[in-house]
């Protein structure tokens, strides 16, 4: 390992080590991008749990739990594909190929939910996910199809870019550093605005590369704190959150290199601001370990065991990393609301606008 002092660029790259991405299956046209029923207001969502999981065989597993209802009906492509009681599970097969399959969950009272599997499969990414589909502490839900988090977009194919256009992506926020952007420039879908939101801009020099797993863990924790209190992070995350409430007809995508650290805090800040429980935010954050497992294993498998042991903490996301970000918020700002206002420029009025744009119920 290089023991010399590294630039912020080098550390940012260490936070997002990756290998060439294996192609993933592509599919046909997107389903309707938005269900008009989703805009009904003033009605509570009775669902306390609802998920869609795309299975490897092309089927979809639907699961739900709702309060105070007797009947649940689920539609896809305009027809009923599952029915059940307040709590249920169904496996749906035989649906036509689609780039992203949407399901409309509706009970015999209250507002329905439009949901899909969280992962968006592209040939050039492994960690492009929908930020929505989570329930808040007060019973609202974060809309799906509005905000996306991703790893780098430099491997996108023409078809990938076409799919992102069909996702209505209006703005791509690139959280990476200058050297990363120059080495692997994004392939941005036609018609989308490309915005540099460099989280580590102006951060100067970081400590040398770690020599032990413990040093690697400490570097990740310190980097998370820098994302919260560094000037670059405050500006970048303020830009991203501010853009999300501006236009509810098209979508926002933000990404770094691996889509796990800088992107992870961006999504954690968003979900926390919207009122999603901390344990749910943590589960979303840790899911990068699942989506990036094949790429990470491939990289570690090419390293000598001692070196792999040092690199593994850099490739992982771990609860202590994200928790260090929350600890930094508390230590520096006193509360998350103060962090939003003082660091990111999201005051009460802006937060209300963000919630109106992204919450259902």
Q: Has 157 been annotated as catalytic?
A: no
Separation of alpha carbons 13 and 91, rounded Å: 41
pLDDT at 34 (0 to 100): 44
Q: Could you give the count of Cα atoms lying within 13 Å of 206 in the half-sphere of its Cβ?
A: 30
The residue count for the chain:
361
Separation of alpha carbons 330 and 324, rounded Å: 10
Helix (H) or strand (E) holding 225: helix 213-229
Residue ranges matching CATH 2.60.40.10 in the chain: 38-119
Q: In 3D, which of 7, 117, 141, 115 has the Cα closest to residue 58?
A: 117
Instruction: Please give the biggest Cα pair distance in the chain.
Output: 65
Strands 129-130, 103-107: pairing kind: unpaired
pLDDT at 35 (0 to 100): 44
Tell me the backbone φ, ψ of residue 288, rounded to 5 degrees.
-60, -30
Strands 47-54, 169-174: pairing kind: unpaired
Confirm if 48 and 38 have CB atoms less than 8 A apart: no
pLDDT at 44 (0 to 100): 95
pLDDT at 223 (0 to 100): 96
Separation of alpha carbons 144 and 133, rounded Å: 5
Query: Residues 6 or more apart from 111 whose CB is under 8 A from it?
Result: 37, 40, 43, 44, 45, 46, 360, 361
Tell me the backbone φ, ψ of residue 15, rounded to 5 degrees.
-70, -10
pLDDT at 28 (0 to 100): 29
Give the number of other CB atoms < 10 A from CB of residue 297.
Answer: 12
Helix (H) or strand (E) holding 264: helix 262-274
Find the distance separating the first CA and the last CA of the chain, reported in whole Å. Answer: 52
- Give the distance, in angstroms, between the CA of residue 132 and the centroid of all CA atoms in the same chain: 8
Confirm if 95 and 60 have CB atoms less than 8 A apart: yes
Residue from 74, 220, 256, 310 carrying the catalytic annotation: 256
Separation of alpha carbons 169 and 244, rounded Å: 11
Structure tokens at 330: 């508390």
Return the DSSP state at 202: T
Separation of alpha carbons 314 and 67, rounded Å: 42
Q: What would you report as the CA-atom Rg of the chain, rounded to the nearest whole angstrom?
A: 20
Q: Digits of tens for pLDDT over the chain (361 positions)?
A: 333 333 343 444 444 443 333 333 323 223 333 443 444 445 899 999 999 999 999 999 999 999 999 999 999 999 999 999 999 999 999 999 898 999 999 999 999 999 999 999 999 999 999 999 999 999 999 999 999 999 999 999 999 999 999 999 999 999 999 999 999 999 999 999 999 999 999 886 566 789 999 999 999 999 999 999 999 999 999 999 999 877 666 799 999 999 999 999 999 999 999 999 999 999 999 999 999 999 999 999 999 999 999 999 999 999 999 999 999 999 999 999 999 999 999 999 999 999 999 999 9
Separation of alpha carbons 287 and 20, rounded Å: 20
Residue ranges matching CATH 3.90.190.10 in the chain: 6-26+121-360
pLDDT at 136 (0 to 100): 98
Q: In 3D, which of 242, 42, 20, 274 has the Cα closest to residue 143?
A: 274
Please state which CATH number belongs to domain 38-119. Answer: 2.60.40.10
Q: Which fold has domain 6-26+121-360?
A: 3.90.190
């Amino acid at each position: 390992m290089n023991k010399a002092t590294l630039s912020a660029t080098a550390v940012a790259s260490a936070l997002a080590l990756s290998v060439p991405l294996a192609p993933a299956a592509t599919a046909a046209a997107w389903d309707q991008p938005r269900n008009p029923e989703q805009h009904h207001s003033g009605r509570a969502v009775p669902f306390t749990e609802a998920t869609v999981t795309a299975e490897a065989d092309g089927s979809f597993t639907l699961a739900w739990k709702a309060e105070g209802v007797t009947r649940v009906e689920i539609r896809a492509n305009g027809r009923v594909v599952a029915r059940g009681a307040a709590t249920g599970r169904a496996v749906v097969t035989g649906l036509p190929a689609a780039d992203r399959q949407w399901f409309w969950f509706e009970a015999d009272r209250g507002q329905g939910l439009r949901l899909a599997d969280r992962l968006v499969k592209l040939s050039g990414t492994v960690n492009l996910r929908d930020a929505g589909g989570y329930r808040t502490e007060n019973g609202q839900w974060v809309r799906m199809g509005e905000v996306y988090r991703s790893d780098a977009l430099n491997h996108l194919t023409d078809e990938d870019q076409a799919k992102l256009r069909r996702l209505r992506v209006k703005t791509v926020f690139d959280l990476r550093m200058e050297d990363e952007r120059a080495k692997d420039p994004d392939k941005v879908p036609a018609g989308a605005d490309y915005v540099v939101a460099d989280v580590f801009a102006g951060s100067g020099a970081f400590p040398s590369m770690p020599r032990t797993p413990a040093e690697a863990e400490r570097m990740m924790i310190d980097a998370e704190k820098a994302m919260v209190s560094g000037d670059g992070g405050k500006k970048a995350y303020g830009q991203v959150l501010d853009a999300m409430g501006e236009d509810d007809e098209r979508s926002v995508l933000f990404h770094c290199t691996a889509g796990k650290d800088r992107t992870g805090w961006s999504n954690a800040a968003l979900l926390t601001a919207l009122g999603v429980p901390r344990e749910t935010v943590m589960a979303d954050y840790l899911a990068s370990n699942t989506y990036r497992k094949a790429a990470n294993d491939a990289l570690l498998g090419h390293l000598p065991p001692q070196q792999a042991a040092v690199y593994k903490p850099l490739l992982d996301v771990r609860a202590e990393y994200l928790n260090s970000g929350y600890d930094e918020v508390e230590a520096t700002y006193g509360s998350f609301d103060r962090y939003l206002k003082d660091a990111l420029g999201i005051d009460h009025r802006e937060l209300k606008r963000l919630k109106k744009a992204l919450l259902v119920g």
